[in-house]
Amino acid sequence: MEQAKKEAIDERYRPTEVSDKYWWKVVTLFTLGWALMYADRTILNPIMPQLALEFNLNNSQLGLINSVFFLTYAVTQIPFGVLGDKYGRKLVIAIGFILFGTMTLLSGLASGFGIFMIYRALTGAGQGTYYGPQYALSTESIPLRNRTFGNAIINSGMALGTSAGYILSSKLVLENGEHWSLPFFIMSIPTILIGILIFTLLKEKVTRPEDRKVSGTKEIVKEEKVKKVSIAQIFKNRNLVLTFIMCFCSLYGFFVVLTWLPQFLQVERGFEGTSVGFIASLVPWASIPGAILFARLSDRFKRTKIFVYTLVPIAMLSIFSIAFVTDRTLLIVALVLYGLTGKLALDPILVSFVAKNSPKGSLSTALSAYNFVGMSSSILAPYVTGWITDTVGSMQIGFYLSAGLLLVGMIFFSFTKENEVEAFA
């Protein structure tokens, strides 16, 4: 019985030969997956004042909604990454998307703050299935010469979803006066559908054209030693841990902007209606060309530190300026600059660096650990910024703190050894 079970598992992981265009199918579906995830996250942010009125909440409680969501999202990263490596990455993703779509629907039906928090926490758990298994599948499917570029396109789904979520809620609720629950209902169905499509259309294990070589008239599949390591061994790897810290600092600033920018624009800069969603969307829209450009350059030059030393200082200055400047034109410039150089531009470069330093057999686990550490900042950022706002009466200090953390992350990353891949024991 045990032998038959083992053979069935081995058969499921037998590589499937794919064409040199298969990776575009992978990129398309995973881009849509990120778009739905980020739209689900950002439909909440423009309507936070409406939630505050309906449920009688202060800024700390509003921040707590996102903190609880990201708590479950973060803590489920590593378990789902391990399960993906063991039982199948696309199966874990499909189950997660069905859960996340169902909980999004129920969030719109919530009649009180407590039950709304529970539904958002379960939504976060559903989304926690995605990061490690998704990037493991895409890393194995995208040709090495296009790896960072392909991941940048996938990451553009985050930008598209962020913008769509902002604009959807701003248009329906702030401008048209619809109830805050409508955006949640709209998001639920396509979420479930994309999970089903990922499971049915993608392959669990593939052999790319570059993995095969021709010898005479025979085509031989290159065998690559697959090694699995424990999560403890991953956290003992110097390059990986320092990259995790850089990710934490980068994501802290990103989630301050993602969560609080719409309310900051309304309360402290006087924007109204759909303009809130439009102005807030400048960050994700600017990130698309920035991410693709820097990914192309990174694939070409393969010098991760140069890009970190270039992007992070500009992103740091941009976040500081978002809070500091009062002129609307300068504010727009700061938002665009942050989009071009911030988290969404930096992440594909860091993901490729993690993949380079991770064992192939535990890639999903390593990427989940990377995102777990990074997303831990998203638990803190919404609540801490809300608490600061309630305490001092302004969100500016929360943005300044974000800028300072970027500097800390860059200092830690400077101790990585770019041309030295540490062996796992």
206 bridge partner residues: 16
* Rounded-to-integer distance, Cα 25 and Cα 202, Å: 8
Tell me, yes or no, whether 375 lies in a domain: yes
Tell me, yes or no, whether 222 lies in a domain: no
Tell me, yes or no, whether 420 lies in a domain: no
Tell me, yes or no, whether 217 lies in a domain: no
User: According to the model, what pLDDT value does residue 394 have?
Assistant: 85
Tell me, yes or no, whether 295 lies in a domain: yes
Work out how many domains the chain is built from and give that number. Answer: 1
User: 225: alpha, beta or left, given left = phi > 0 and alpha = psi -120 to 50?
Assistant: beta
Torsion, CA 22, CA 159, CA 152, CA 320, rounded to 10 = -170
User: According to the model, what pLDDT value does residue 281 have?
Assistant: 79
User: According to the model, what pLDDT value does residue 12 have?
Assistant: 53
User: Angle CA(401)–CA(294)–CA(209) in degrees, nearest 5?
Assistant: 130
Each residue's pLDDT tens digit, 87-124: 889 999 999 999 999 999 999 999 889 999 999 999 99
Tell me, yes or no, whether 288 lies in a domain: yes
Tell me, yes or no, whether 350 lies in a domain: yes
Residues 6+ apart with CB under 8 A from 377: 248, 249, 251, 252, 255, 405
User: According to the model, what pLDDT value does residue 102 have?
Assistant: 95
User: 273: alpha, beta or left, given left = phi > 0 and alpha = psi -120 to 50?
Assistant: left
Each residue's pLDDT tens digit, 239-298: 999 999 999 999 999 889 888 888 888 888 887 777 777 787 788 888 888 888 888 888
End-to-end CA distance of the chain: 33
Tell me, yes or no, whether 216 lies in a domain: no
CATH number at residue 87: 1.20.1250.20
Tell the residue number behind the tokens 């407590």, with chain if given: 114
Structural domain for 89, as ranges: 2-209+229-413
User: According to the model, what pLDDT value does residue 220 have?
Assistant: 47
Q: Which residues of the chain have pLDDT under 70?
A: 1-15, 17-19, 206-229, 420-425
User: According to the model, what pLDDT value does residue 132 have?
Assistant: 83
